[in-house]
Amino acid sequence: MVRAVFLDRDGVINRKMPEGRYVTSWAEVQFLPGGAEAVKRFHEAGFLVLLVSNQRAIAKGLVTRHGLESLHRRMWQELFRGEKGFDGVYYCPHDADPPCGCRKPQPGMLLAAAQDRGIDLTASWMVGDSESDVEAGRRAGCRTIRIGLLDVRFSTSADEVAGSLQEAANIILAMESAAGPIPTCH
């Protein structure tokens, strides 16, 4: 059984820009604390770690696919510093309208990754900072964690809530540990 942790990018790995703005250059990247360590812990626990991110800046003409992929390469080089990083990066380049199957809250990126890598989605997690991330995870059959909630009165349909990716890793790894060893087929 292949398990994965799917991570949103903006608001989980790096600081999210104000509404209506997008991270399109290295100068705009501000990593959130603990991201590389959380990814390392997921790998050590046997998870694939995949990034799934809506990138409508491409549809808006603010960055090209090549520019985004170059930005991602630099981000991962700086974040992981030669250590194992993401096992894959999936992004939706489309705008919200017309609707597509890959833009979260649709589960298309998670489903594509599951098909590409043989992932058991019911044994996997989606971690994001928005309800569209949570909904994409739920629609794909994953357990979900919403991070970054400061107002406890805010409602979410996520299975769990965490203040950061590091805290989300603590929750996931504690739950996996409590569930016991994963059965193997012989």
Per the annotation, the verdict on 159 as an active-site residue is no
User: Active-site residue among 10, 87, 129, 133?
Assistant: 10
> Cis before residue 98, ω within 30 degrees of 0?
yes
Per the annotation, the verdict on 95 as an active-site residue is no
- The number of angstroms, rounded, from the C-alpha of 110 to the middle of its chain's C-alpha atoms is 10
Annotated catalytic residues are: 8, 10
